[in-house]
Structure 1
Amino acid sequence: MSRLRVLVFMGGYSTEHDVSVTSGTGVIRAMDRTKYNIHPVLIQKDGTWIWSSRELSPYQKDNFSENYFYSLEGPSARQEKNPALSELPSADIAFLALHGKWGEDGHVQALLENWGIPYTGCGLLASALAMDKVLCKAAYLSVGIDTPPYRVLFRDDFSGDKLVDAADALGFPLVIKDPVGGSSIGMGIAKDLDEAGQIVNNLFKNSNRLLCEKFIQGQEASCGYIEGVETPLPPTEMRMTTREYFDFEAKYNGECREVTPAEFPEELTKRIQQLSKKAHLAIGGAGYSRTDVRIDADGKLWALETNTLPGMTPTSILPAEAAAVGIDYTHLIDLIIDTSLKIER
């Protein structure tokens, strides 16, 4: 049987560039070399794409790292600024190990669709919708999914009175975030009005719109959903150690204990699993996704956001949840590719 030709995209222009490279590295190392002809593609922050017309050798696959891209030489090596996708090696599918702006928000998905290249995960509209947390909240509410109360601030007409109004309506602690940020970068939790003003002024330097959200006291969890998998994935509980909330440091610097499967009562686990699927459908998701939730003292679930390209590092939440139901990392990659090839865009 001939092997599938797979482009593995990683990097990107966003603040999540390094996390994406780690995801792509893990995916490539775990891919079954008997099933796939692998072509890694690195998108650098300055818009330069690096790839080779040659597939990875078995040794290169098993020992893959970002250094591969900077060791390429000869006529097969390519390095282009914003290339046409027709210049890339022909492929049966693109595996998207991208995160954040431009990778997870529909831009790359639109490019791939324009060139007729199938890709993993959600389509361009679902990707764009889920990436914008304000619009994603509207999608949740349209199907009856509870999400923390919120207000939106705009840089062009911002005033201290509008921040006071938001704080009065939502209370403290007050979550303030860039609505199109990712990996908990570009956010903060204010304990009072002075701290809220500092966070807003800082975030407005890079965003023209901010989301103010009521902080839900309680537990935090995340749960993946993969279309076609009969056994629902178990949720993961985030148990904070030295951090107040699940921010970038907690996610990637070991300052949070991720418990998979979460040690929740069976009834709560089922409700989180049902919410994950419902959120996936609400945004028009395809293939797979992962939804983050807060659980208040009364056991009520509040959906925070849905990730259309959840992290795929070997220690990421989705692979851990899949492993808990007997789907190892390599099989998970197979499932994502197989499911994505069946999606009608």
Structure 2
Amino acid sequence: MSRLRVLVFMGGYSTEHDVSVTSGTGVIRAMDAEKYNIHPVLIQKDGTWIWSSRELSPYQKNNFSENYFYALEGPSACSEKNPPLSALPSADIAFLALHGKWGEDGHVQAMLENWGIPYTGCGLLASALAMDKVLCKAAYLSAGIATPPYQVLYRDDFKGDDLVAAADKLGFPLVIKDPVGGSSIGMGIAKNMDEAGEIVNRLFKNSARLLCEKFIRGGEASCGYMEGLEKPLPPTEMRMTTREYFDYEAKYNGECREVTPAEFPQELTERIQQLSKKAHLAIGGAGYSRTDVRIDADGKLWALETNTLPGMTPTSILPAEAAAIGISYSELIDRIIETSLKIKR
């Protein structure tokens, strides 16, 4: 049997560049060299793409790191700013280990579709919809999915009264975020009007719109959904240690304990699983996704956002949930590729 030719994209232009490289590194090391002909592609923040025309050797695969790209030399080494996809090695599929803006918002997906290259994960429309938390909320509500009440602020016509009105409607603590930010970067929780004003002024420097959202007191969980599995993935409970919410530091600096599978009552577990599937379908998802939820004191679930390219580091939530039902990291990658090759774009 011939091996599948796989381009593994990592890096990207967003603030999640480093996390993406970690995801890509984990994916490559876990891929079966007997099944796949692997070509890593690093997208640097300045728009330069780095790759090799040669596939990874077994040694390079097993010991892969970002240093691989900077050690490339000779005629097989390629580096080009914003290259056409025709410049890359031909491939049967692209594995997207990208996160955040440009990588997870439909841009790369549109490029790949234009060049006729299958890719992992959700399509361009679902990716764009889920990346914009305002539009994603509209999709949730149209599907009957509860999401925290919200208001949108616009930089071009912003007045202080707009923030006062949002605070009056939603109350404090008030969640304020860039609606197209990733990894909980570009957000804050204001306990009073002074803090809200500081957060808004800071975020408006880089964002034309801001999402103000009611803070739902209670617990937090995340649950992946994968098409084609015999049983759903179990949810993960986020137990905060030193932080109030699941932000970038909590995710990547060990300031949150992720409990997988979550130690919830069976009834709550099943409702979270059903919500993750319903959210996936509401945005028109394909392949797999992961939805974050809040659980209030009455046990009501509130959908926060759906990630169309959830983290794929060996310790990320989706791989941990797959492991909890007996799917190894390597097998998870196989399943993602197999499922994605069947998707009709």
TM-score, structure 1 as length reference: 1.00
Deviations 1:151-173 (A, max 9, x none): 00000000110000000000000
Instruction: Give me the CA root mean square deviation.
Output: 0.3
Structure 1: how far apart are the matches of 2:318 and 2:288? Answer: 10
d(CA) in 2 for partners of 1:209, 1:232: 35
Amino acid at match of 1:202: R
Aligned to 2:332: 332
1:267-286 mapped onto 2 (5 Å cutoff) = 267-286=267-286
Check if 1:128 corresponds to 2:128.
yes
Partner residue in 2 for 1:80: 80
SS of the residue aligned with 2:80? strand
Structure 1 distance, partners of 2:190, 2:21, is 32
Corresponding residue for 2:91?
A: 91
State the shift of 1:58 in Å.
0.3
Hey, what does 1:105 align to over in structure 2? Answer: 105
Find out whether 1:46 has 2:62 as its counterpart. Answer: no
Q: Secondary structure at the match of 1:104?
A: coil
Instruction: Output the amino acid matched with 2:235.
Output: P
Other-structure match for 1:150: 150
Alignment of 1:175-186 (within 5 A): 175-186=175-186
* Rounded Cα–Cα distance in structure 1 between residues aligned with 2:132 and 2:32: 34
The 1-side partners of 2:196 and 2:80 are apart by 43
Give the match for residue 308 of structure 2.
308
Q: Distance in 1 between matches of 2:94 and 2:265?
A: 39
Measured in 1, the distance between the counterparts of 2:155 and 2:50 equals 37
Matches within 5 A, 1:131-210: 131-210=131-210
Which residue identity lines up with residue 140 of structure 1 in the other structure? Y
Runs of 4+ with >3 A deviation: none
SS at match of 2:281: helix
What secondary structure is seen at the aligned counterpart in 1 of 2:2?
Answer: coil
SS in 2 for 1:146: coil
Amino acid at match of 1:282: A
Distance 1:264 1:115 in 2: 45
Give the CA deviation at 1:320. Answer: 0.1
- Structure 2 equivalent of residue 223 of structure 1: 223
Partner of 1:122, secondary structure, is coil
Render the CA deviation track for 1:277-302: whole Å, top value 9, x for unaligned.
Answer: 00000000000000000000000000
- In the TM superposition, residue 78 of structure 1 has moved relative to its aligned partner by 0.3
Counterpart of 1:293 in structure 2 is 293
1:34 counterpart SS class = coil
Instruction: Give the letter aligned to residue 35 of structure 2.
Output: K
Deviations 1:71-114 (A, max 9, x none): 00000000000000000000000000000000000000000000
> CA separation in 1, counterparts of 2:28 and 2:215?
38
The Cα shift of 1:230 comes to: 1.2
Q: Structure 2 counterpart of 1:286, which letter?
A: A
Instruction: Give the superposition deviation at 1:214.
Output: 0.2
Superposed displacement of residue 63, structure 1: 0.3
1:60 alignment counterpart: 60
The aligned counterpart of 1:28 is: 28
2-structure distance, mates of 1:74, 1:110: 32
Q: Unaligned regions of 5+ residues in structure 2, if any?
A: none
Q: Secondary structure of the equivalent of 1:72? A: coil
How far residue 191 of structure 1 moved from its aligned partner, in angstroms, is 0.3
Q: Kindly provide the amino acid, as one letter, of the partner of residue 34 in structure 2.
A: T
- Gaps spanning 5+ residues in structure 1: where? none
Q: What is the distance in 1 between the residues matched to 2:283 and 2:245? A: 25
Taking the aligned partners of 1:263 and 1:136, their CA distance within structure 2 comes to 28
The residue number in structure 1 matching 2:247 is 247
SS of equivalent to 2:89 = coil
Question: Counterpart amino acid of 1:327?
Answer: I
Identity percentage of aligned residues: 89
Deviation by residue 1:251-298 (Cα, 9 ceiling, x = unmatched): 000000000000000000000000000000000000000000000000
CA distance in 2, matches of 1:259, 1:231: 19
